[in-house]
Amino acid sequence: MIKNKALGRGLGALLGEIEQAYDNEVPNDDAILEIPLKSIKPNPYQPRKSFNEESLLELGESIKNDGLLQPIVVISDIDGYTLVSGERRLRASKLMKLKTIRAICMKVDDDRMRHLALIENIQRDELNSIELAIAYEELIKIHNITHDELGTRIHKSRAHITNTMRLLQLSEKTQKALIDNKISSGHARTLVGLGEKDQQLLVDSIIGQKLSVRDVESMVKSLKNDTQRAPFEEKESLSYDFSSLKKKLDEYRLKTSFKSNRIIIEFSNELQIEQFLSKLS
């Protein structure tokens, strides 16, 4: 199978793409523009969806007092600019009601924009677990590579890639609880494979009772054991007609009880057992 050589140089070269924007494409200060904030549109391929308001305010205060140390990266379009890199810096500047922002204008196509947004966030650990899983999934599809190959190229273990992507199997409610930091990634990983109702039950328990990951692992194990026993319990609940047998046993003057598919015969002594066995033979 032929691997997708997107952008000519492949995924590995993208890891330094943002730095190259500064080193190679900005030979002097004249290449750094002062752009009105209102003319910049967000990156449509930004994998990060949630931003900590308090953290943005702190960054905004720093930008307001000390200036923007690292310009954002944009591309020019017909009606202004589109952000390539620097979402937090842009949002923080808007919170401070600044009018302009320092920026580097690159020449990239849509494919490279998507890649840069994914790689920048992955390398800076700015994504939550679900956003990270989506980013990994997209990179694997774009480049047609395995978990091992992706792990090698972004310097992460295959187990980390696989375990992170498994979180996408969780229900939407469980994923939201993880995104909102109501449960940890450790909690979430133990819930993979459970039905939606069981996930919700355990998420509520984790939040309400402040359960540890080990506590949840024990509860999940118990739930899975109950599920495995269910087919046998269902069979045991079937009911049979033992009326003729009961009548026969009554003739032997034996104390008996019947429940679903169970027959219980009580004997007073060994002699009664011998007599019963003799009649059966």
Is 0.75 surpassed by the pTM of this model? no
Distance of CA 129 to the CA centre of its chain: 5
CATH class for the region spanning 10-124? alpha beta
Residue 238 is predicted with a pLDDT of 53
Packing angle, helices 158-166 and 129-143, rounded to 10 = 110
Alpha carbons 164 and 136: distance in angstroms, whole number: 8
Q: What angle do CA 142, 144, 147 make, to 5 degrees?
A: 105
Q: Active-site positions?
A: 87
pLDDT tens for the chain, residues 1 to 281: 334 433 334 444 444 444 454 444 444 444 788 989 999 988 776 666 677 778 788 888 888 888 888 888 888 888 888 888 788 888 888 889 999 999 988 877 766 776 676 766 666 656 788 888 888 888 888 778 889 888 887 788 889 889 999 999 999 999 999 988 899 988 999 999 888 988 998 999 899 888 888 988 888 888 777 665 545 444 445 556 667 777 777 777 777 776 666 777 777 777 777 777 777 76
Residue 169 is predicted with a pLDDT of 92
Which residues, 6 or more positions from 223, have their beta carbon under 8 angstroms from its beta carbon? 194, 198
